[in-house]
A and B are shown apart, each in its own frame.
Chain A
Amino acid sequence: MTSLGEFTILLALVVAVFGFLAPILGARRGHQALLSSARNSQKVLAGLLTISVIVLVYAFLTDDFSIEYVASYSSRTTPFFYKITAFWAGQKGSLLLWVWLLSVFGYLTVWQNRHKNQQIMPYVQVVINGTCVFFLTLMVLVTPVFEKLVFPAADGQGLNPLLQNPGMVFHPTTLYLGFVGFTIPFSFALAALITGKLDDDWLISIRRWTIFSWFFLLVGNLLGAQWAYVELGWGGFWAWDPVENASFMPWLTGTAFLHSVMIQEKRGMLKVWNMALIILTFFLTIFGTFITRSGIVSSVHSFGVTTLGPYFFGFMGLTLFVSIYFLFIRLPLLKSKQELDGILSRESSFLLNNLLLVGIAFAVFWGTIFPFISEAVRGVKITVGPPFFNQVIAPLGLGLILVTGICPLISWRRATAKNLLINFSYPFAGAIAASVLFLALGMRNGYGIISFSLSVFVVTTILLEFLRGASARHRLTGESYLTSLFNLTRRNKRRYGGYIIHFGVILMVLGITGVMNFKVEKEASLRQGQTLTFNQYTVRYGGLTSWKEPHRDVVAATLNIYNGGKRVATLKPEKAFHKGQDQPTTEVAILSTFKEDFYAILAGWDDQGTAQFKFLINPLVIWLWIGGGVITLGAIMVMWPDRRRRIKEARK
């Protein structure tokens, strides 16, 4: 079986090389048969890699410990479920996942465009297959996933208990869907540059791919945040770890791209900027894969897998060089059709949005690589921790929220005073009223007040848009308000789906603002039966219980939580000792409400049964996850295929 796996990967490399070269030759010489077999090769590539994926899954499920990768990440006692997720627990499997997804996306793209974009499609394939060649070369030369042990291990080393969490199924996979997905918009952009066919067709063809990748990158990050929150047991969900930053940066530039392409579609402007953004986004996805998978940035000297470094640097350099070269020679073709008119206009609010997003991305980049800059310049590593990111990004983020409210409503070209008054008097009044209310309620946290008030501003603009649209439609068609609202959103999925996504983002902002500005924590040592008062909560510690499970021993504390004299919950924070490790795994207990989370950590105990705890009250956290759900709804709406367009296409 394993030789089948090795063989399919080797063959996939050959096919990818063919898929890289054939379209170039075919397109240059107008050789139709060659182009058509290049298209077919995309199917073959996806098929081959699917086989190798199946072989690896099979090896995990059948405990084939003759394979080094399987022996390193699985064991006989690893639960069935985690034998599958162990697939991407390490670098070798992750690279296979990456290239497999790309091959499937490549096939889908070719299939989607079988009647469209015939001029640029060969070069789209060139870019996709070029990327595949890179990853497959790595897998053949540096990280052979099917590598065998000389002496098969009797049992594997098992999966790290921290990775044994349901979140680990979806967090890496969704992130990779996002990372890999951005290859498709990039390949269209580069193909358009190479062929010089720079009208807006390619932009329209990649709309759904862009929102798809953007969405999965966001969901991947959110799931990672949630995993950290419930599993890592330090009470937070985001630590500005280089690995987190790596997946945040392409999301930021991707968000900028998602918005600025609208300017190009509507007004024919910002063409060079858009190209630069998608090139940058792709570059950052490769950079992100590199960081997450090589451990170079956070590595403490010798722990990175240094062999990967040169390959990744080479590929990133080549990508940048080729992209910038073609961008440069096509500059004359990328002239704007229009000029910018007024500074108070939708165009400029989009520009502001873009500058802020790219600014935030740059700040994150700076904070991530600062240790290396300082080491190169001053010979000593200096880091900037979470305070740097919070300090720099909070004001930029607030600006971004404001723009979220302004952007969709302000007029194109030049806003008149009348337009501003009509669109913004209610939201503005709402925001002012909100901040007065917060002040009156005794809130004195500047960032908190501004952030919440801006959120009110944005939500009011979104509500107004739905109301105005629905009532206009009601007047026009005589449908009831509700039907109008429904039809309105159905007919303008992209626009109203976008508003729903904005609404979800604001909900996330609430959660982030709550935790950043209003979190409180308390550490305490409690005797059995002792109570502790923490804000409006009273905690009564009822003692420790312990029990044995097949693969772990658990110690849990019983905590009765009272809120205003009424018992609201029993929390049982635990420490679990996994077999073969004397290192415990902390399992926190959380009482989650719409208002706040009560978060309990069992830190330790002594022989008399006195236990040490850490408690946190994290306000509004739940809205972060709910916001993610709302964004999912909006994104599905935006991506949903248009019935009318399909019919039109069929008629053609």
Chain B
Amino acid sequence: MNPRTKFIAGGILIAAAVVYLIYSGTSSTMVYYLTTSEVMERIPTIYNQRIRLNGKVEPGSLNWNGRSTQVEFNLTDEKNKIRVVYQGVVPDGLRTIGVVIAEGRLLPAGYFQADNLLIQCPSKYESEKVELVQDNIRVSQ
């Protein structure tokens, strides 16, 4: 075998290994990433399935005194809302940023039992912050 063929064979071998790793990694770790409406559509098959539920905390629905490890709130996509119940370290920004990804399961009892709450890097949610001044902007262009 001449060197060139060897190199090509080696390259293909490595590429194949990478592809295999990605393929097996994907199929063993994938999780539905759903909005509240998408979850509602999938009842009852979605019950007890591990998913990532995303949405906004419905204003006024957050039941938390700021210092306990128990928290409940409604997540909403403006159409449908789902009650989320969580116990554990409550992440910072739950109230102020309010854009949440909850990992856990929807129980047949009708609420979402979360075991992890994610709140994303705050610098990204600037479009949320400017609400106050939004209609106050001079149209200059």
Q: Which residues of A are at the interface with B, using a C-beta cutoff of 8 A? A: 68, 71-72, 89-91, 140-141, 144, 147-151, 153, 157, 160, 162-163, 232-234, 241, 243, 292, 295, 298-301, 303-305, 339-343, 348, 351-352, 355-356, 359, 362-363, 366, 370-371, 374, 380-385, 387-388, 391-392, 395-396, 523, 555, 575, 577, 581-586, 601, 603-606, 612, 614
Contacts and interface: CB of A to CB of B under 8 A. Distances in A.
B66 A583 contact: yes
Interface of B: 3-4, 6-7, 10-11, 14-15, 18, 21-22, 24-26, 28-35, 38, 52, 54-56, 66-69, 77, 88-96, 99, 101, 120-130, 132-133, 136-138, 140-141
Contact of B136 (A140, A150, A343, A392): A150
A395 to B, nearest CB: 6
A581 B34 CA distance: 29
Given A163-B122, A303-B125, A583-B94, A150 B137 contact: yes
A109 B135 CA distance: 43
Contacts of B3: 339-343
Contacts of B22: 362-363, 366, 392
Nearest to A359: B18
B9 to A, nearest CB: 9
A585 B97 CA distance: 12
Given A71-B133, A380-B38, 7 more contacts: A148-B137, A151-B136, A351-B11, A388-B29, A391-B24, A603-B89, A605-B67
A233 B92 contact: yes
A289 to B, nearest CB: 13
CB-based closest 3 A-B pairs: A583-B95, A359-B18, A295-B124
A343 B6 contact: yes
B79 to A, nearest CB: 11
A267 to B, nearest CB: 14
A384 B67 contact: no
B90 A388 contact: no
Given A162-B92, A163-B123, A385-B31, A157 B129 contact: yes
Contacts of B137: 68, 147-150
B110 to A, nearest CB: 22
A363 B136 contact: no
A584 B26 contact: no
Given A359-B14, A383-B33, A396-B18, A303 B127 contact: yes
A391 B29 contact: yes
B133 A392 contact: no
B98 to A, nearest CB: 9
Nearest to B54: A300
B30 to A, nearest CB: 5
Contact of B67 (A356, A374, A575): A575
Contacts of A299: 124
A90 B123 contact: yes
A341 to B, nearest CB: 6
A149 B135 CA distance: 9
A366 B30 CA distance: 12
A585 B92 contact: yes
A150 B7 contact: no
Given A147-B138, A381-B33, A241 B90 contact: no
Given A384-B25, A388-B26, A391-B28, A343 B10 contact: yes
A359 B12 CA distance: 12
A384 B125 contact: no
A301 B77 CA distance: 9
A71 B137 CA distance: 12
22 contacts: A68-B133, A147-B140, A153-B133, A162-B93, A233-B91, A234-B91, A241-B120, A300-B35, A370-B26, A380-B38, A382-B31, A383-B31, A384-B31, A385-B52, A387-B25, A523-B88, A583-B92, A585-B92, A586-B89, A603-B69, A605-B67, A612-B68
Contacts of B94: 583
A177 B88 CA distance: 38
B30 A382 contact: yes
Nearest to B21: A392
Contact of A582 (B90, B93, B95): B95
Nearest to A160: B122
Contacts of B123: 89-90, 160, 163, 292
Contacts of B14: 352, 355-356, 359
A72 B140 contact: no
Nearest to A149: B136
A582 B64 CA distance: 10
Given A234-B91, A343-B3, A603-B69, A387 B29 contact: yes
B69 A604 contact: yes
